[in-house]
Amino acid sequence: MKNKELITIGRFNWLLDAYPVASKIESAGIECFLPDEMLAKSSHKHFIGTSRIKLQVRREDATRAIRILNDEPFDTLIVDSSNLSLMVK
């Protein structure tokens, strides 16, 4: 991903919850990033409970990414459009 400002649009307790959401966003042509992916894979026992896996997109793509997720919502997602955050139950 080019050096552009990123915004977190989602947080997940489990990496496996983040993958289908990231895939859906990428299939719409929006580049996304899971900055905590390697940390969660390497030290998942210590990582979970103290932090959450973030899903990030470029600021200019954030509204579109959330709109895409609203059009075809995932069962575990709660969308808060007021501050462009997306949280997992």
Per-residue pLDDT of the chain (89 residues; tens, 9 = 90+): 455 799 988 888 788 888 999 999 999 999 999 998 887 777 766 665 556 788 999 999 999 998 887 777 666 554 544 445 444 44
Count of C-beta atoms within a 10 Å radius of residue 62? 20
List, in order of start, the domains of the chain with CATH numbers. 6-88 (3.30.70)
Q: Which residue in this structure is represented by tokens 């997720």?
A: 69
User: Which among 20, 25, 23 has a CA at the least distance from the CA of 7?
Assistant: 25
Report pTM: 0.74
The per-residue pLDDT for 42 is 79
The per-residue pLDDT for 36 is 85
Residues 6+ apart with CB under 8 A from 67: none
